[in-house]
Amino acid sequence: MTDEIIALTERHIGRIRLNRPKAIHALTTAMCRAILEQLEAWRGDDSIRAILFDHAEGRGFCAGGDIRMLAESGAKDGAEAREFFRTEYQMNERLFTYVKPTVAFMDGITMGGGVGISLPCKFRVATENTRFAMPETGIGLFPDVGGGWYLSRLPGRTGQFLTLTGARLDGTECLFLGLATHYLPAAALDEAKAKIAADPSAIEAILDAFSEEPPPARIEANLEQIDRLFASDHLEDVYAALKADGSDWATKELATLNTKSPQTMKVALRLLKEGAQMHSFADEMRQEYAVGAHVVQRHDFLEGVRAVIVDKDNTPKWHPATPEGVTEHMLDTIFAPLPDDEAWTPYR
């Protein structure tokens, strides 16, 4: 067990607290393994009737994964990056299939790996502090941890919009889209957690009682534009639609897309299209692992991390530089299944 995960029992619940505040609790391989092993230990413990996820201190629930490590590994043989993806995705899949009720408190920044912990949970609590996003295309990555499954099942084309633009949602928008099941004031969280620990059989009623009416969801006003302008699974069509529309909103979103990796935007669109047809979450994770194993060693990911996280010049040189340069053959190579002895499998 790493000290970056605090696992404890409180009455009849197991509580997992992310504890890497200087990195906004970004996940490491050791953290994912610790969570996975703790879930396994509690799965057979009859005294534990529900699992709660939150964070110890700091300004967010979880900002993602250990991106620097992934890039450093990708620049070499990629083995450490693949081990991270394998372990994280096993944790994600175990949560998705977990029988006992699970609750995630998405208070503050909830991105990437934090989304992977939250969305499999039965109860997902947003607050006025929630900032939810899948911004991976901005660093040459793609919306993994089940993004192809979850985002493809959002209303209309909001999933495609979120994955291409990396737009941040607040707690109200998360509730509106179904990403969150409840909206609580942050000041009420400690009391809600204490009541759940005392009576895990009443989780839903407890969260309902503490819920408050959220303000209007900003994204609701843009749904028509999102569904119309992001309607195509072909990136070139999305660009053309935004240019032809010419409104202030479309112009702003087009400018946002121009900062993202054309390669991984196309990867993301294909991932969501195929994810919508996946028969099981395990199938989705198997595909995302293969895609991740390929992408993490490609130019755009290494360049994106350099520009955004290491040098912070925010001027990545994408290759190919335009959507038209990303060929179907390139995408087929990225989506190619791994050999059976290298492919992802659920934790057993």
Q: HEC profile for 205-262?
A: HHHHHHCCCCCCCHHHHHHHHHHHHCCCCCHHHHHHHHHHHCCHHHHHHHHHHCCCCH
Average pLDDT of span 81-107: 98
Does residue 340 form part of some domain? no
Among residues 60, 65, 138, 147, the one annotated as catalytic is: 65
Average pLDDT of span 203-211: 98
Residue with tokens 């495609």: 160
pLDDT digits over 238-274, tens only?
999 999 999 999 999 999 999 999 999 999 999 999 9
Instruction: Assign 59 a pLDDT band (cuts: 50, 70, 90).
Output: confident
Contact predicate 264/137, CB 8 Å: yes
Does residue 251 form part of some domain? yes
The per-residue pLDDT for 346 is: 97
The per-residue pLDDT for 58 is: 79
The per-residue pLDDT for 1 is: 56
Does 65 participate in catalysis according to the annotation? yes
Does 88 participate in catalysis according to the annotation? no
Instruction: Assign 2 a pLDDT band (cuts: 50, 70, 90).
Output: confident
The per-residue pLDDT for 134 is: 96
In angstroms, the CA 163 to CA 235 distance is 12
Average pLDDT of span 190-214: 97
Burial environment of residue 215 by CB neighbours within 10 A (0 to 12, 13 to 18, 19 or more): exposed
The per-residue pLDDT for 286 is: 98
Say if residue 110's pLDDT is above 70: yes
Domain count, the chain: 1
Q: In what order do the strands lie in the sheet with 182-183?
A: 5-10, 13-18, 50-55, 102-106, 123-126, 182-183
Say if residue 307's pLDDT is above 90: yes
Q: Is the bond into 316 cis (omega within 30 degrees of 0)?
A: no
How far is CA 237 from each of CA 78, 203, 249, rounded to the nearest angstrom?
34, 45, 17
Say if residue 348's pLDDT is above 90: no
Average pLDDT of span 215-227: 97
Average pLDDT of span 71-92: 96
Does residue 173 form part of some domain? yes
How far is CA 65 from each of CA 27, 98, 141, 165, rounded to the nearest angstrom?
4, 22, 12, 19
Domain residue limits at 152: 5-334
Among residues 4, 66, 144, 303, the one annotated as catalytic is: 144
Q: Can you give the pTM of this predicted structure?
A: 0.96
To the nearest whole number, what is the mean pLDDT of the chain? 97
pLDDT digits over 223-233, tens only?
999 999 999 99
Say if residue 108's pLDDT is above 90: yes
Among residues 74, 113, 116, 140, the one annotated as catalytic is: 113
Q: Is the dihedral of CA 158, 162, 167, 171 positive or negative?
A: positive
pLDDT digits over 25-39, tens only?
999 999 999 999 999
Does 113 participate in catalysis according to the annotation? yes
Instruction: Assign 63 a pLDDT band (cuts: 50, 70, 90).
Output: very high
Does residue 344 form part of some domain? no
Looking at the chain, the number of H-run helices and the number of E-run strands are 16, 10
Among residues 66, 93, 136, 170, the one annotated as catalytic is: 136
The per-residue pLDDT for 303 is: 97
Residue with tokens 């112009």: 251
The per-residue pLDDT for 167 is: 97
- Tell me whether strands 50-55 and 60-62 are parallel, antiparallel or unpaired: unpaired
Does 136 participate in catalysis according to the annotation? yes
CATH number at residue 306: 3.90.226.10
